[in-house]
Every structure is written in C-alpha cells, then in structure tokens.
Chains A and B, each alone.
Chain A
Amino acid sequence: MIVACPDCDALQLAAADGDRNDGGDGALCFRCGAMLVRGGGRGLRLPLAYVAAALPLLAATHVFPAITIDGAGTHVEATVLGAAMALFVTRAPAIGALIFVTTVVLPALHLVGLAYLLLARAAARRRGWPALGTVFRLVRAIRPWAALEILLLALLVTSAKLSQLVAVAPGAGLWCLMGFLVLERAASTSFDPRRFWQRVGSRA
C-alpha cells in the first residue's frame, strides 16, 4: 500500500494489511519519523466496546457532582454541566460558553460521531450509513478542541486551592470523568483512519 506521510509528504510503501486487523506492526515515516500506521493487534469490535462503555460514563460525569464542599455552614456541589451552565447564565457568558462547548458539547459530539463510525465499520459497508465522510471529518476536526482532560486537572487544582479553607471531597462525577477519559483515549487510539476506510470502502 502506498502512503504519503502526513507530515512530510514522502511517498512510501507501508505494510498493507488489508482487512486483517490483528497482529499488525506499526509503521513510521522513513524520512521524518511520523506515525504512518498504528501498530498493535486490536480486535475489530474492541473500540466499539470502549465507546459503548464511555457513553454512560460521560452522561454520569455530568449528572453526579464532581466535587463537594463542606464548610462554614455551606454545602456546595458542582457538576461539570452545572458549572458550565451557571457561568453561562449568570456571570461570565463568554467564558461559560467556552467551557460549555469544550467540556460538554464537543466531547459528546466526538464520542457519538466515533460510535457512528465504529458501527459502520462493524457493518463493513458504506451503503446505509449516510454522511459517513462528513461525520469522519467532523470527528477529526473536533478532537483538538475537546478539553475534558484539562477539566480533570482543573478540578484537582481547585481542590488543592480550597482545601486549606474548607473540606473538599471528590464526588462520583470525578471518578466517572476519570473512567471516561481512559475509555475515550483507548477508543480513539485504537481507531485507525486508514484501516477504517479500507474496511468501509470508497464511495459507491
């Protein structure tokens, strides 16, 4: 299979594994070292399993409080969704909108899009899956803007800042967020665009 390196455009041959999805070695560009083909044997349905597990965790992340504060006669719980909404509605709409989009809208859109692609791949055909190319490009475009992992770190920093003043406790939402991030990462790294299109096929 002839591939062009995405980073330096050099044409080269990479191991063509056709529709065999397990046991493949990765391939790096001979000129600039970019990853051309992701290695590692992965079963066909495994990314779908990751996504299926990540979807309810993402929902749970927004429902359960990520952080709970007790102190000075107050009890405050903050969910990820709640934090974004509260800012959006009340004090800083621009920042609120930014947080809402990067932590709620885009991660959800990315995951749902990935699920759609993986279902199409499991079916191994293009017919009956409308707008596959558009969804594929959307998923790839969204990824750099989704920022839930940064929110996780922000939750830890915030806890550290507040822990001198009040009692801070992690909530179920925080654990859901961690679980979601692990699964989401596993799902998107085991998704190889080239193999995806090999399996699904070109436009009819």
Chain B
Amino acid sequence: MTTATILTASSADLFSCEWCRTVSRAAATGGGGNSCPRCGGRLRRRKRQSLGRTAAYLVAAAVLFVPVNLLPMMLTSTPLGARSDTIASGALGLWRSGSCVLAVLVFAASVAVPLLKIAALGLLVISCHLGSRWRARERTRLYRVVELCGRWSMLDIFVVALLVILVRSGGTSVSIGPGALALAAVVALTTLASASFDPRLIWDRQRPGKGEARREGGVP
C-alpha cells in the first residue's frame, strides 16, 4: 500500500496508545484528559516535550561520562598495598591475563555502549529538531538498536559488586569506587533519554520534499 499520501494517526485525528497500541478516536475535548478505551493509559499524540527532555537527559549523561572514565570503579586492598582500577585499567588487566574476549566485552559495555548511545540519541534529537528528511528509515532503526542495547552498560557495576562479595580472603578486600556510582547514573540517564525520545518525530517533522508526494500536511 504505497499510495502517494501517507496518513498518520495524528493527521487523521486519531490517538495511538503508547502502551497497548490501540488506535482510538480523539474525545471531543481534545486536550489533556484522554485515556485509552482499552488499557486506560493516558493518550498523547506524541511523548510530552520529547526533544527537550531527551536532550536534557543526554547532556547530564554526557557530563557524568567524564567521571565514569576517570574515577576508579574498584578499590582493592591487599596486605601488599592498595590499588584502584578504572574501567580502562580493569579491562586492560583482563586482556593481559588472557581473557581477551571478556576484556573487549567489558570495555564495549561500559565505555563504547554509553558513548554510542549518547551520540546516536544526540544525532536523532538534533536531526528531528532541524526537521531533517535524511534517511528516516535508518534513523528509526538506529533508535530501535539504541533501545535494545542500553542496559548492558550495567555489566561492570555488577562485576565489581560480585567481586566485593566474593573476594575476602587473606586480608584482601575489594570495595566499590565512585566511578561505579557515576556509571550507574549514566546508565539510568541514557535509559531515561531513550524512553523519552519519540521516534515518530523523525517522520513528523519532515518537510515535504521535491521527489515525493506531500505528506501529513496538517501536522505541526
């Protein structure tokens, strides 16, 4: 059904419930108080202040990402002395001890994933804000990937926590460093950012272009 004009729920004056995806007619009052006839969830055409909230969470996450990499994740004290490990030095230690796969995994989960997530959502927010028509389908797919892979950054926090529990022999003890708290905050903030981004904005804000039929004329 690739007709020239694409009708959206919003341009047809319908609501699509964000929880159960039921399409329903807008109530006569229009504004705030609508709820889904099926699941009772609140009906909104788009997530509330999506771009602004996503951007705010992203900025906070980006700022906290600096201490994540600089502060120690794990503090180890042994009879021979104390040492502290950041994410990078912990991954390097794993690499040196021969577990190359795990080292890459830890580094990817706690450094690459949050960084790429912030970059990807930043790209989406900016392109939507500018009303870009560029590769809408690919950008939507990018958002779906971001939604899937976000939680894996918790990995290193869990590892340190398990080490704290398990390592207590011969005067050796492990404790959690301030970096772990910062990483936890970054994971939470990026998860909130991806939850408050509305992928429908990728398609809404497109201005009608030359090669294609005009679409969704009435959407603000």
Q: What residues of chain A have their CB less than 8 Å away from a CB belonging to chain B?
A: 2-4, 6-13, 30-34, 67, 69, 71-74, 76, 78, 82-84, 86-87, 91-92, 94-96, 98-99, 102-103, 132-134, 136-137, 140, 144-145, 147, 150-151, 153-158, 160-162, 164, 166, 193-194, 196-197, 202-203
Contact = CB atoms under 8 A, between A and B. Distances in A.
A132 B155 CA distance: 34
User: Among B14, B37, B105, B140, which residue has the most Cβ atoms of chain A within 10 A?
Assistant: B140
B19 A92 contact: no
Contacts, number: 195
Nearest to A99: B161
B164 A87 contact: yes
A4 B84 CA distance: 52
A34 B181 CA distance: 35
Contact of A155 (B37, B38, B162): B162
Contact of B204 (A9, A69, A160): A9
A12 B200 CA distance: 15
B4 interface: no
A7 B162 contact: no
B161 A202 contact: no
Contacts of B170: 72, 74
A162 B167 contact: yes
B202 interface: yes
Interface stretch (B5-13, B53-61, B64-72, B114-122): B5-13
Contact of B151 (A33, A147, A155): A147
A202 B140 contact: no
Interface string B173-187: 001100011001000
14 contacts: A4-B8, A7-B140, A7-B144, A8-B203, A30-B1, A31-B6, A74-B170, A92-B175, A95-B181, A102-B154, A140-B19, A145-B191, A157-B159, A193-B20
Nearest to A92: B176
B21 interface: yes
Contacts of A30: 1-2
Given A78-B165, A134-B40, A157-B105, A144 B147 contact: yes
A92 B170 CA distance: 22
